[in-house]
């Protein structure tokens, strides 16, 4: 799968605290290999819709993403952390 992100997500990744960077790199690799096995549905009643995954120590960061199987595409939509 190809992983893409809009400007806002790229800026958020660039601003991630250093201790979250390794976990983000591992997450990105997992999304490239098997995006449906990562995270959970954002809306439980729509399991093939947007997904959300927490990462880092105590899951202090959260990523929302969508998967477009026919295009082999994973789109990173929102990244936040505390």
pLDDT at 37: 96
Is 42:49 a contact under the CB 8 Å cutoff?
yes
Instruction: Report how far residue 67's alpha carbon sits from residue 52's, in angstroms, rounded to the nearest whole number.
Output: 11
DSSP assignment string, 38-60: SSEESSTT-TTS-EEEEESGGG-
Interval 69-79 mean pLDDT: 97
pTM greater than the 0.75 cutoff: yes
pLDDT at 20: 97
For residue range 18-72, list pLDDT tens digits in order: 999 999 999 999 999 999 999 999 999 999 999 999 999 999 999 999 999 999 9
pLDDT at 51: 98
What's the fold here for domain 12-81? Answer: YaeB-like fold (3.30.2310)
The dihedral sign for the CA sequence 59, 36, 79, 25: positive
The beta-carbon contacts of 39-47 under 8 Å, at least 24 apart in sequence, are: 39/63, 39/65
pLDDT at 13: 96
Domain spans in the chain, listed from the N-terminal domain onward: 12-81
């Amino acid at each position: 799968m190809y992983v893409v992100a809009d400007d806002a997500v790229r800026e958020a990744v660039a601003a991630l605290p250093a201790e979250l960077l390794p976990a983000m790199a591992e997450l990105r690799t997992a999304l490239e290999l098997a995006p449906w096995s990562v995270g959970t549905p954002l809306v439980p009643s729509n399991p093939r819709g947007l997904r959300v995954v927490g990462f880092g120590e105590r899951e202090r960061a959260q990523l929302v993403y969508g998967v477009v199987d026919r295009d082999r595409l994973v789109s990173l939509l929102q990244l936040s952390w505390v």
